[in-house]
Structure formats: structure tokens, C-alpha cells
Amino acid sequence: EPEVTQTPSHQVTQMGQEVILRCVPISNHLYFYWYRQILGQKVEFLVSFYNNEISEKSEIFDDQFSVERPDGSNFTLKIRSTKLEDSAMYFCASSEGGYGTGTSLYGYTFGSGTRLTVV
């Protein structure tokens, strides 16, 4: 079964630094997502991306966040000037079609996550 790959699995950064979280979605998937999970809390939607542009973003996704698909295979989340409260697990996901449609049983395929710790 194809996988969504996220790197690194764990990143520690100093407050105020910029971080880039990387994801390689499944190759025939067209829709990409980032989710955030603060420790012990729910998984929250950050942003969805289709056709090289943001299709929807949540209130959490403010100006310090940006996403990019730089080379047709990677999908990145950049956090400028990290804050302590950005410490969380960040999940990348992809889907074949919008609304989780497509031939995949899963609808959405999630990566294993990047645990970001801001110190």
C-alpha cells in the first residue's frame, strides 16, 4: 500500500527560528493537507492544497504558516518565527480526489507525523 512519507520524524528548534516540515504524498494523489495535534488534544485541520494553491485554511493557519509544492513531489509546511505554542505533531495527508474520494479504501492517507518541539 502506498505511503505518505514525512520528514523529519522529530525536530527540535529554538523559538523564533524558521522550520520546514516535509511530506511526500502518494504520487497519484491530487489533494494535500496539513493537520496539527497539540499533545493530548484533537487533530486540527490547518490547510488543504490543490492545483498548486491553497483551497482552504483554518483560523490557525495565520501569516506565520505557508505551504508549497516546490517540485511536483514534495509538499512542505513552513513555519516562520516559531513560538512555543507551535510545539505539536504535524500530520501531512493526501487524497486522490476531493472530499476524500477516489479508489483508495482510506479516502485520506496520513503520514506518520513530525513531532515539532519549540524550546
Partner 1 sequence: AQKVTQAQTEISVVEKEDVTLDCVYETRDTTYYLFWYKQPPSGELVFLIRRNSFDEQNEISGRYSWNFQKSTSSFNFTITASQVVDSAVYFCATNTDKLIFGTGTRLQVFP
Stretch that binds partner 1, among 14-22, 48-56, 61-69, 77-85 (CB under 8 A): 48-56
Q: Classify residue 71 as left (phi > 0), alpha (psi -120 to 50) or beta.
A: alpha
Q: In whole angstroms, give the CA distance from residue 106 to residue 102.
A: 9
* 99 three-state secondary structure: helix
Task: Work out whether the CA dihedral 64, 5, 93, 70 comes out positive or negative.
Answer: positive
In the list 66, 87, 112, 117, the residue contacting partner 1 (rule: CB under 8 A) is: 112
From the list 32, 33, 61, 75, which residue makes contact with partner 1 (rule: CB under 8 A)? 33
Using CB under 8 A as the binding rule, whether residue 113 contacts partner 1 is answered as yes
Question: What mask of x and - would describe binding to partner 1 in positions 77 to 96, judged by CB under 8 A?
Answer: ------------x-x-x---
**Does position 49 bind partner 1 by CB under 8 A?**
no
Q: What share of the chain is helix, strand, coil (3-state, %, to 5)?
A: 5, 50, 45
Residues forming contacts to partner 1 in the complex (CB under 8 A) are 33, 35, 41-45, 48, 55-56, 89, 91, 93, 98-100, 105-110, 112-113, 115
